Amino acid sequence: MIDQFENFLKTDNLVKHGLPAFVYTSDAFREIENHTVFTNSWVFVGFAHELGEIGDVQPVTVAGKPFFLVRNDNNEITAFHNVCRHRCLKLIESSGNCGQLIQCPYHSWIYDLQGALKAAPYFGGRDRKPPPGFLLEDHGLVAVSCETWHDWIFIRINGEDTDGGLAFDKFIAPLKKRLENIDLAQIKPVATIDFGVLQTNWKALMENFIEPYHVQFVHKTTTSQPLVDHYTILEDHCLGSGCDIAEDKNKDDLKTLAVSSRFLTLFPNFVIGTYAPDQLGVHLNIPVNAGETRQRRVIYLHKDNPASEKEIQQTRQLWYDVHKQDHAICERLQLGRVSEIAADGGYLSPHWEDSVRRFQELVVESVFPQGDASCADAKMRKNNFYD
């Protein structure tokens, strides 16, 4: 299998191979991603409007580990490891409001919304006092780096001082530049589509969104965006494509999409689409395992958009239909990659899929910082990939 990585890393031809198939099908490789890509990167995890009140909590999973988001009494959204400091119970099981305190259901250890341990009843014996040498302030919940940009929440497990990481302002900078003509403070969420668990690797969904090559073929019944109107976007870790359509080609109905658009991502998993004049869509892709990904989409409009509830539901249905077309393709990609024919990763168009190639290079650079096959081999052997 290491030969397949060498094929990807050392190809100098204009037409290059994609990532080898096991990168999409192997749970062992997925575990390596957990310890690299999803630990050292800013990972998109949720939507701020879903935590609108003080005390609102939401469990999230990143790198296969449990965390939770909370809006604290300073009206800030923060993130913690979702683990009680006593016996390591998962504290938050579902989204909701916990009031002013977070209470473990096992032995009733109590934390405030800042994560400080406020009580550990009877831990030291019958008199309810802590045992000698046990200080409540030493046993609060463990926080992780958390940033909210407009409605979108990101966490970084290893913190900003980790080698190879970006401070959040640098992480978000290339996307801010691409969206500088949109007043994001004026948008509002109007609909959510929860697709549940899809039978495909998370990278397949990201790559599908990044490239425009498939649009006029896969979405011919739901969009009117000819391939010739598209171009790709590559700026650091901000990747995607755009489509500029003349105003007189726009359609007034909501049955198909025929507007100037940008399809942008931030590595590893933030996805945003902008659609003239004032619609946005943001996808949340959370890996479950090598072959499954959980996905949701939130649709946004400008706060002064007069769209009726019927029109919003038509828009929601349109995007549901578009996504289901993408999902069918990505799930068939997953099925095809179990074949030995897929071992070398297939081929990438040097024109339409250069953004996909860059995304795949970011995966390799994150997992194998040295950038060579011997590093890949050593890390895979360490993680029992070949067993």
Q: What is the model's pLDDT at position 254?
A: 46
Judge whether residue 382 has pLDDT over 60. no
Mean pLDDT across 161-180: 84
CB within 8 Å of 182: residues ≥ 6 apart: 274, 280
Confidence of residue 349 (pLDDT cuts 50, 70, 90): very high
pTM of this prediction? 0.91
CA 372 to chain centre: 26
pLDDT at 276 > cutoff 90? no
Mean pLDDT of 242-258: 60
Among 364, 214, 200, 365, smallest CA distance to 285 is for 200
**Whole-number pLDDT of residue 245:** 77
Q: How confident is the model at residue 216 (pLDDT cuts 50, 70, 90)?
A: confident
Averaged pLDDT, 327-349: 95
**216, 225 contact by CB (below 8 A):** yes
Mean pLDDT across the stretch 234-246?
90
Assigned token pair, 306: 């007069």
Could you report the per-residue pLDDT of 31-61, keeping only the tens digit for each? Answer: 999 999 999 999 999 999 999 999 999 999 9
Say yes or no to pLDDT of 353 above 90.
yes
Instruction: Give the residue-averaged pLDDT of 315-331.
Output: 95
The dihedral sign for the CA sequence 272, 239, 211, 21: negative
Domains annotated for the chain, with CATH where assigned, are 43-148 (2.102.10.10), 179-338 (3.90.380.10)
pLDDT for the residue numbered 156: 97
Q: Average pLDDT, whole number, for the chain?
A: 89
Q: Give percent above pLDDT 70 in the chain.
A: 87
pLDDT higher for 28 or 368? 28
User: What confidence category does residue 206 fall into, taking pLDDT thresholds of 50, 70 and 90?
Assistant: very high
Dist. CA 159–CA 40, nearest whole Å: 8
DSSP class of residue 249 equals: G
Q: Are 66 and 82 in contact (CB under 8 A)?
A: yes
CA distance 148 to 266: 15
**Is the predicted pLDDT of residue 207 greater than 70, yes or no?**
yes
Higher-confidence residue: 164 or 22?
22
Q: Cβ atoms within 10 A of the Cβ of 223, count? A: 20
Q: What is the pLDDT of residues 77-127, one digit of tens each?
A: 999 999 999 999 999 999 999 999 999 999 999 999 999 999 999 999 988
